[in-house]
Structure 1
């Protein structure tokens, strides 16, 4: 990419992370400590704290869109350079030489990973890349080499297929252990970064040798090189196939001279400008290492659950993901729609893959931990909220809750167990984390406290909640790039139920995910017919894994009935009967809803 100098010339942009000096890290800590009391005083002193919080979020969301557009305009500036003959000959020759040597390369390659995806959906996903602007190469990673995995290979039948005898993740783990053992034996100092670098160099050379063994010509002219490649390996987990795919992507991108990698899933459908506009958001800033686009749901009309989920993406994701993104500190690059600057990946892939929490290897937080590693090393991460990509959402309540649990566990791990990231980033990241982590816990405690003591722990205002809902819906209608599909206004009848669908289980999901932090089950089934996700080795699966939700709904029903009884002046006996009736009804409905797994 090009950067404009003071004299008006353009030079090659060498991407590198920001260096954060010690004094600035201390300033970040101070700002983190004072931000929460200031926010608490500001909201508590208001009669409408929830609405005020929403207005602050809207301001940050608009700021994020403004900053992203400025970045895009900066990247477009090269296209509008003045080439008029008024220039003196010497200046013209210098300009022409500079353009020739440093012409921007905004093309990218796409890496798509999956396991036993439904062939029709996988076909739709791959077809969408045919019209994706700027995509010059597609690499597909299939996590499985059994007969059942052949369907995905058949869909991609026009591509060369490489079978990896051993997943690169296992090779990385074994190689690193050997290097550590050698250094310990020779009593050499341990430098984790140096060891990880040696492991990555070995893997890149190994991937290059594999491509050479298959005598593949990557890229080249219009027709003399392949533009599609499929790799497959023994089934592990999503993190395992992502790691292998990323390593091969580094080699292929180096051959093609490509600077950006689009990473996505096998159930994700891209729009023509999904890749190009997301890349344009980061291309002009050499300190930004990654970005992700906004998400919509492409199967929103499949079931009632998917309709509700579509409104959650529309009403909540757009706002919450934008909160910290204005300062290039987005804390999660969504797996279905992520762009990486390839120069940022080599130093983070090995520590990302080998992450352990409480002595246990983690496989559920692949997207968030990639983002955390970028932020820890000084790279910026942005959220292109006005760019859309279509993803798949669970079709039943059971699958939806399991997905929310998995995401919540990943959020807790990266937010609470990686405190060093707040030294290197804008305090807005800490502020957003604190709100996200404390809010649902406070809500759960407040409900239980009222049920036990009949006293409110926090002030409750129906007007505040009503204004928050009204302002949120109006803002999304006016500014959200997602128009809720082709249904338009008909789909918006699901907005209010969708808000309840998201917020009612949220405290239970939040607290239960904290209590089961290291659980690593994927929960959701693959789309291939008859497929279900296998249990992780050594992991015990509870008989009723939705019990936490059923218990929470019973508690919430009891607290609501108690509040209604007091409001209407019912006696203790009648209030108790109302509570028992509500508990029985709500628990039965919750059990029936979560029982449906197919």
Structure 2
């Protein structure tokens, strides 16, 4: 945009080739000069007061990073975008909000996150040198950088009133491809986070353990149910009823807290998880050559 190009407050960095998100971030951070660094994705749309609200949160020098609340800018396009938008609300206003009460948001998401530049400069070498299967890592940047912040002794926070919208996949294929790096990052960086848990609140330990054991226990329940059907020709009604009851309780609580009945439809996320996301989470360490 010519308007921004002529504005002395903006400095555009043009790299010779597409080097990936991590390398682009480091190039920008090393050439930055302010106290705070705002990270956004190329398809992020920020509310006019997002920078102000994130900066206010960062006034505490103990805070190394703060993320805003995410929404889907294309929420009304398909049933999948509506489902993802509700998933974002729950992830931000339940998971991240709960973690923020203890100053340890475990992943400051890339579409809208602000970092303390002085802290970033301390961590850049570690951030750059992360490898996976013998190659420089090209996924999971947000979670890894957040955990490095916690490892360095900084707090990580959530600002629910700093709202950013991002474009989400509207078809199943692109969505599942997007989720695979996330699943791999969750399991991989959990091992790094384990060393931090003794110094964090017990709730964070419970949260981290639950996020990793939960899918495994759910997978075991599904496999046990399939085995029962195959071996005895009977349906595990108690298992099905328990999953349905827990789903409706969660969706009802979300609908009440958000004051939006649409969250009752989030019950569709349970079969979606069972038949699509759960098998995907079983592939976190598969290696694919580019």
- TM-score w.r.t. length of structure 2: 0.87
CA offset digits 1:58-112 (Å, max 9, x no partner)? xxxxxxxxxxxxxxxxxxxxxxxxxxxxxxxxxxxxxxxxxxxxxxxxxxxxxxx
Secondary structure class of the residue paired with 1:346? helix
| From 351, 355, 359, the counterpart of 2:134 | 359
Residue of structure 1 equivalent to 2:41 = 265
Between the aligned partners of 2:224 and 2:238, the Cα distance in structure 1 is 7
Between the aligned partners of 2:111 and 2:274, the Cα distance in structure 1 is 23
Residue of structure 2 equivalent to 1:409 = 184
Q: What's the RMSD between the two structures over aligned residues?
A: 2.6
Between the aligned partners of 1:300 and 1:424, the Cα distance in structure 2 is 39
Alignment of 1:454-533 (within 5 A): 454=229, 460-461=241-242, 462-477=244-259, 492-493=261-262, 495-501=263-269, 504-505=272-273, 508-517=276-285, 519=287
- Contact kept in structure 2, 1:261 and 1:340, CA below 8 Å: yes
- Contact kept in structure 2, 1:159 and 1:230, CA below 8 Å: no
- Contact kept in structure 2, 1:269 and 1:390, CA below 8 Å: yes
Between the aligned partners of 2:177 and 2:49, the Cα distance in structure 1 is 32
Between the aligned partners of 1:322 and 1:442, the Cα distance in structure 2 is 25
Secondary structure class of the residue paired with 1:387? strand
Moved over 6 A (4+): 456-459
- Contact kept in structure 1, 2:80 and 2:170, CA below 8 Å: yes
Question: For the structure 1 residues 308 and 417, does the alpha-carbon distance in structure 2 shift closer, same or farther, using more than 3 Å as the test?
Answer: same
| From 304, 323, 331, the counterpart of 2:98 | 323
| From 54, 70, 79, the counterpart of 1:304 | 79
Question: For the structure 1 residues 344 and 330, does the alpha-carbon distance in structure 2 shift closer, same or farther, using more than 3 Å as the test?
Answer: same
Question: For the structure 1 residues 464 and 506, does the alpha-carbon distance in structure 2 shift closer, same or farther, using more than 3 Å as the test?
Answer: closer
Alignment of 1:80-479 (within 5 A): 156-160=1-5, 226-233=8-15, 234-249=17-32, 253=33, 258-283=34-59, 285-454=60-229, 460-461=241-242, 462-477=244-259
Secondary structure class of the residue paired with 1:505? helix
Between the aligned partners of 2:154 and 2:92, the Cα distance in structure 1 is 23
Between the aligned partners of 1:318 and 1:369, the Cα distance in structure 2 is 21
Between the aligned partners of 2:237 and 2:218, the Cα distance in structure 1 is 11
Question: For the structure 1 residues 304 and 403, does the alpha-carbon distance in structure 2 shift closer, same or farther, using more than 3 Å as the test?
Answer: same
User: Post-superposition shift, 1:377?
Assistant: 0.8
Between the aligned partners of 1:304 and 1:319, the Cα distance in structure 2 is 22
Between the aligned partners of 1:302 and 1:463, the Cα distance in structure 2 is 29
Between the aligned partners of 2:147 and 2:274, the Cα distance in structure 1 is 24
User: Post-superposition shift, 1:391?
Assistant: 1.2
User: Post-superposition shift, 1:352?
Assistant: 0.5
Secondary structure class of the residue paired with 1:347? helix
User: Post-superposition shift, 1:376?
Assistant: 0.6
Secondary structure class of the residue paired with 1:430? helix
Between the aligned partners of 1:277 and 1:499, the Cα distance in structure 2 is 33
User: Post-superposition shift, 1:380?
Assistant: 0.6
Question: For the structure 1 residues 464 and 313, does the alpha-carbon distance in structure 2 shift closer, same or farther, using more than 3 Å as the test?
Answer: closer
User: Post-superposition shift, 1:231?
Assistant: 0.8
User: Post-superposition shift, 1:337?
Assistant: 0.7
Between the aligned partners of 1:419 and 1:271, the Cα distance in structure 2 is 35
Gaps spanning 5+ residues in structure 1: where? Answer: 1-155, 162-224, 478-488, 521-537, 540-598
Determine which structure has greater relative contact order: mean sequence separation of CA pairs < 8 Å that are 6+ residues apart, divided by chain length: 2
Between the aligned partners of 1:503 and 1:245, the Cα distance in structure 2 is 42
